[in-house]
């Protein structure tokens, strides 16, 4: 770890200065090295000098998590987790509580924004091969965060106790009834009754409050793993020396702040001008256990997975289609855990992988197609399209990714980040391969 000059100089002043603040900080740091740790992770932390704006989304997601917890803690003070009172308590929050509407709209749209940020973050990782050696655990912790987010979002959506809350909960918990032998017992256990009801609402509220803090803990591990080998970068090559990096602060703190400003403008447009555009109007009708809405659709961020779930309309090898659908839906995410080992190419960035670059975009299109299929009622050609798209999703990860690594001839990699970014001379050695950039 070569300490870049600016960071080291800036950091040294606080920890060694003889002012009163300096002495207090030294007293604390001797016992709990808090400032020193911050200094180490922010000031001295060497960051590749070539990170583009796709690298903003990790910190944006982190800020979004804080916004969700801050609004959520306040919302919980006004919310009543009881099947008879929940819907009315949310309406009271919207109409009577000062700025209740604002906090709820931030929280509601924040969930959607959180998934936008995280999905972009994931596809950034897929494009630039951020999941490869030595960042496999970093990637797997990210998948854990995604799973926790999905569970949290699903349970949060149940809390307002509208029609879509109730029937979404019914459909998703019923997935577990597909498990052979013990399925219906598990579903009863999840419900605490014979249908989704008050016990279900209570436990979902408890877990919806708990899981975000579990996410915070896993994010902590995610950042420790990140800082162990540092950020990947658009070239996907390793950091070789001081000429390849700049200190995180102030260069990337300022870049993150700029990205945050742009993001907050978009977020505010949703909160203030179209707060219900991403939700379902059905959820403003109180839950009615004896009346199914005409069409049950999950929130947009679950649509691709919902499409995979519904795609299997036939039994296969004696296994009921419903069970296969459930297995495939869970596998579609669990696959990501083993992606670092499915990918046989050692070149990280798609910039140097001509074939992978193409299938990457096909995967992205495929996921959008799945989302479209999940949004529409399953009839006619929608079913067929859903089956093809599901097939392609698994083909991509299980066949194409291992195969392309074997047959593809990657383009020559630059000698170093510094050489590629600053041109020949600054990188000292490289001349030829860097011309491309």
Partner 1 sequence: MADLAQSHLPAGHGGGTRRDFLLLTAGALAGVGAVITVWPFVDTLNPARDTLALSTTEVDISPVQVGQRLTVAWRGKPVFIDHRTPEEIKAAEAVDISTLRDPQKDSDRVKKTEWLIVVGVCTHLGCIPLGNKQGEDRGPFGGWFCPCHGSIYDTSARIRQGPAPLNLAVPPYEFTSATALKIG
- For the CB of residue 352, give the shortest distance to partner 1 in the complex, in Å: 45
Catalytic residue among 44, 244, 280, 299: 299
- For the CB of residue 337, give the shortest distance to partner 1 in the complex, in Å: 26
- For the CB of residue 209, give the shortest distance to partner 1 in the complex, in Å: 17
Query: Is 44 part of the annotated catalytic residue set?
Result: no
Coil, helix or strand at residue 162:
strand
Beta carbon nearer to partner 1, 199 or 242: 199
Instruction: State which of positions 109-168 bind partner 1 (CB under 8 A).
Output: 167
Q: Helix, strand, coil proportions of the chain in percent (round to 5)?
A: 70, 0, 25
Rounded distance between C-alpha atoms, residue 14 and residue 26, angstroms: 9
State the burial class of residue 52 (Cβ atoms within 10 Å of its Cβ: 0-12, 13-18, 19+). Answer: exposed
- For the CB of residue 119, give the shortest distance to partner 1 in the complex, in Å: 25
Beta carbon nearer to partner 1, 6 or 188: 188
Question: C-alpha 262: how far from its chain's center?
Answer: 19
Rounded distance between C-alpha atoms, residue 329 and residue 323, angstroms: 10
CB 392 within 8 A of CB 362: yes
Of 332, 338, 269, 343, the C-alpha closest to 304 is 332
Beta carbon nearer to partner 1, 275 or 321: 321
| Torsion angles phi and psi, residue 247, rounded to 5 | -65, 145
- Pattern 325-354, binding to partner 1, x per CB under 8 A? ------------------------------
- For the CB of residue 166, give the shortest distance to partner 1 in the complex, in Å: 11
Q: How many residues bind partner 1 (CB under 8 A)?
A: 33
Query: Is 227 part of the annotated catalytic residue set?
Result: yes
The half-sphere exposure of 234 on its side-chain side, counting CA atoms within 13 A, is 13
Place of tokens 């903003």: 56
Query: Is 295 part of the annotated catalytic residue set?
Result: no
Catalytic residue among 78, 227, 357, 375: 227
- Identify the sign of the CA torsion 15, 18, 24, 26: positive
Beta carbon nearer to partner 1, 197 or 402: 197
Rounded distance between C-alpha atoms, residue 33 and residue 272, angstroms: 42
- Pattern 172-201, binding to partner 1, x per CB under 8 A? -xxx-x----------xxxxxxxx-x-x--
Of 165, 157, 153, the C-alpha closest to 288 is 165
Place of tokens 């392609």: 392
Beta carbon nearer to partner 1, 131 or 305: 305
Q: Residue length, the chain?
A: 437
Place of tokens 């008050």: 198
* Residue choice 8, 67, 70, 171 for contact with partner 1 (CB under 8 A): 171
Instruction: State which of positions 399-428 bind partner 1 (CB under 8 A).
Output: none
Catalytic residue among 44, 244, 256, 366: 256
Query: Is 184 part of the annotated catalytic residue set?
Result: no
Query: Is 231 part of the annotated catalytic residue set?
Result: yes
* Residue choice 109, 170, 231, 349 for contact with partner 1 (CB under 8 A): 170
- For the CB of residue 184, give the shortest distance to partner 1 in the complex, in Å: 10
Question: C-alpha 132: how far from its chain's center?
Answer: 18
Beta carbon nearer to partner 1, 322 or 353: 322
Residues ≥6 apart with Cβ < 8 Å to 149: 114, 115, 118, 215
Instruction: State which of positions 352-391 bind partner 1 (CB under 8 A).
Output: 377-379
* Rg value, the chain, Cα: 25
Place of tokens 């990637």: 139
Instruction: State which of positions 289-328 bind partner 1 (CB under 8 A).
Output: 289-292, 294-296, 310, 313, 320-322
Coil, helix or strand at residue 308:
helix
> Is residue 208 within the footprint of partner 1 (CB under 8 A)?
no
- For the CB of residue 162, give the shortest distance to partner 1 in the complex, in Å: 16
Beta carbon nearer to partner 1, 52 or 291: 291
Beta carbon nearer to partner 1, 88 or 295: 295
Residues ≥6 apart with Cβ < 8 Å to 83: 161, 197, 198, 201, 287
- For the CB of residue 193, give the shortest distance to partner 1 in the complex, in Å: 5
Q: Which residues are catalytic?
A: 227, 231, 255-256, 299
Which residues here bind partner 1, judged by CB under 8 A? 167, 170-171, 173-175, 177, 188-195, 197, 199, 203, 289-292, 294-296, 310, 313, 320-322, 377-379
């Amino acid at each position: 770890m070569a300490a870049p000059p600016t960071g080291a100089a800036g950091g040294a002043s606080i920890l060694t200065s003889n002012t009163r603040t300096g002495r207090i900080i030294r007293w604390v740091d001797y016992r709990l090295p808090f400032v020193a740790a911050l200094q180490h992770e922010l000031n001295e932390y060497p960051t590749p000098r070539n990170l583009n704006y796709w690298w903003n989304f990790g910190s944006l997601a982190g800020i979004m998590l804080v916004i969700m917890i801050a609004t959520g803690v306040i919302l919980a003070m006004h919310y009543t987790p009881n099947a008879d009172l929940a819907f009315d308590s949310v309406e009271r929050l919207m109409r009577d509580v000062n700025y209740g509407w604002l906090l709820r709209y931030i929280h509601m749209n924040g969930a959607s924004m959180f998934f936008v940020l995280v999905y972009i973050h994931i596809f950034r990782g897929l494009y630039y091969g951020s999941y490869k050696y030595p960042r496999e655990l970093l990637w797997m912790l990210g998948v854990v965060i995604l799973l926790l987010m999905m569970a949290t979002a699903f349970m949060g959506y149940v809390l307002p106790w509208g029609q879509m809350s109730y029937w979404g909960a019914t459909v998703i918990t019923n997935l577990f009834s597909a498990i052979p032998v013990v399925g219906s017992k598990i579903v009863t256990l999840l419900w605490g009754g014979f249908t989704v009801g008050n016990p279900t609402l209570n436990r979902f509220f408890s877990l919806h409050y708990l899981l975000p803090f579990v996410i915070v803990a896993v994010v902590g591990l995610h950042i420790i793993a990140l800082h162990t080998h540092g950020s990947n970068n658009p070239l996907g090559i390793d950091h070789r020396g001081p000429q390849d990096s700049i200190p995180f602060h102030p260069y990337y703190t300022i870049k993150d702040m700029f990205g945050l400003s742009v993001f907050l403008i978009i977020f505010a447009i949703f909160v203030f001008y179209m707060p219900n555009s991403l939700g379902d109007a059905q959820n403003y009708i109180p839950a009615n256990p004896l009346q199914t809405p005409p069409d049950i659709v999950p929130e947009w961020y679950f649509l691709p997975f919902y499409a995979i779930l519904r795609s299997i309309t036939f039994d296969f090898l004696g296994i009921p289609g419903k069970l296969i659908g459930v297995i495939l839906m869970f596998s579609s995410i669990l696959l990501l855990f083993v992606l670092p080992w499915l990918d046989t190419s050692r070149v990280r960035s798609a910039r140097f992988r001509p074939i992978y670059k193409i299938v990457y975009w096909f995967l992205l299109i495929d996921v959008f197609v799945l989302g479209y299929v999940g949004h529409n009622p399953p009839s006619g050609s929608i079913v067929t399209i859903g089956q093809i798209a599901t097939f392609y999703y698994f083909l991509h990860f299980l066949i194409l990714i291992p195969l392309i690594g074997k047959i593809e001839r990657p383009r020559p990699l630059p000698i170093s980040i510094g050489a590629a970014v600053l041109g020949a001379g600054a990188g000292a050695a490289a001349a030829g391969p860097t011309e491309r950039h």
